[in-house]
Amino acid sequence: MKNWLEGQALFLEKNDNYFEAGLPKLDGVKISFIGDRKTAFLEFKQGKLDYLSGLESSFANELLTDNGELKDAWNGKVKFIKTPFLNSEYLGINVSKEDNPIRKKQIRQALNYGFDRALMMKQLRNNVGKPADSGFTPFGLPSYDPSIKGYEYNPALAKQLLQAAGYPNGEGLPEITLYTTNGYQDLCTFMARQWKEIGINVQVETLESATLREKVRAGSADFFRASWIADYPDGESFLTCFYGKNPAPPNYTQFKNAEFDKLYEASLNENDDEKRYQQYKDMEKILIEQAPVVFLFYDETAVFVQDNINGISKNALNLLDLKRVDKN
């Protein structure tokens, strides 16, 4: 580390005594801390940044087609790297709070049936990522099974579930507050509009990331936007979020289910992959039925680099490895 300007930039320089001869290829790296994504994109567009990771609706349409491909205007200027990213995006529901208006299972299920994931991904994510329609564990893992039937867009069924919960057309159901951060406000607003059509009124409240994390950790957020990135490439890294004996984190929804816990504990001691993956799938079915979360999408990496950058590798954990990267 050569220099660190707090809140501005981190400067790293090459170690000439590194044990692998000829590596790294770069003389140094400057990491800029830019809080606003639109500002970061503008600097990337102007050539002041070589590397930009992540996607936001404010600039997605300028770079990508509706099908998630780099637009022709950027070919020869920018490289786009997309690959399965072991990250599940979701809305968490605190199922332990007695006064939570969406604590009833039918309402949680209605929320899951009440918005169009495919349309959301097309309009706001340019189809970078896939709708979460097969449980919580994302595609890209060997235990992922697309044959597991999750939630699809079915507003008629959502209305039936609301009626079964005692709120026909949403009558008598209190307004629900959904906490999110600025980067996900567009997604949450999209869902809130569709939920309103079936009778569920959701108010989207935007908080700073640190404030939201603290509310979720303390259990004071009834309904919140969150994501879970794999610590290691196995389904257990995701299913641990719902093990009843785990605190928050990682069990932010405070979900407890005896059958789920039994399967989870058994999977920890199972060395046969095929048997363990079946236990994972059985746990997924419980999560889908109980719906402690609103399943959103399985993420994909969206990495953009200037055309003169070579050697950036695809990585399902979205780790940045610069050992063999060079800049012409």
226, amino acid identity: A
Average pLDDT per block of 10 residues along the chain, 328 residues long: 95 96 95 91 96 88 93 95 94 92 94 98 94 95 94 98 96 96 94 97 96 95 96 96 96 97 98 97 98 97 95 89 94
Beta-carbon contacts of 282 under 8 Å, excluding residues fewer than 6 positions away, are 263
The pair of structure tokens assigned to 14 is: 């090459």
Record the pTM: 0.90
User: What is the predicted pLDDT for the residue at 55?
Assistant: 86
- Edge to edge, what strands does the sheet with 78-81 contain? 51-53, 303-306, 78-81
Same domain, 71 and 197: no
309 shares its domain with 189: no
**Residues 237-249 pLDDT 10s:** 999 999 999 999 9
State the Cα–Cα distance between residues 250 and 238, nearest whole angstrom.
9
Give pLDDT, residue 56.
84
Whether residues 103 and 135 fall in one domain: yes
Give yes or no: residues 175 and 70 share one domain.
no
d(Cα 115, Cα 133) in Å, to the nearest integer? 12
Residue 42 is which amino acid? L
- Please tell me whether residues 48 and 111 are part of one structural domain: no
Q: Are strands 202-206 and 130-131 parallel, antiparallel or unpaired?
A: unpaired
Give the model's pLDDT for residue 99.
84
Specify whether 239 is located in the same domain as 307: no
Domain that holds residue 35: 3-83+301-327
Rounded Cα–Cα distance for residues 37 and 181 (Å): 13
The total domain count for the chain is 2
Question: What pLDDT sits at residue 101?
Answer: 83
CA distance linking residue 286 with residue 265, whole number of Å? 15
pLDDT at 57: 80
Q: Are residues 51 and 103 in the same domain?
A: no
Same domain, 242 and 257: yes
Q: What angle do CA 317, 328, 46 make, to 5 degrees?
A: 75
Do 96 and 213 belong together in one domain?
A: yes
Same domain, 214 and 253: yes
Same domain, 278 and 317: no
Q: Where are the beta strands (DSSP E) in the chain?
A: 3-5, 9-13, 28-32, 51-53, 78-81, 84-93, 130-131, 176-180, 202-206, 223-229, 293-300, 303-306, 309-310, 326-327
User: What's the pLDDT score for residue 228?
Assistant: 97
Half-sphere exposure of 138 (CA within 13 A, CB side): 28
The pLDDT of residue 100: 85
pLDDT of residue 315: 86
Residues 315 and 292 grouped into a single domain: no
What span, in angstroms and rounded, lies between the C-alpha atoms of 51 and 81?
11
CATH classification of the domain holding 41:
3.40.190.10
Structure tokens at 27: 């003389």
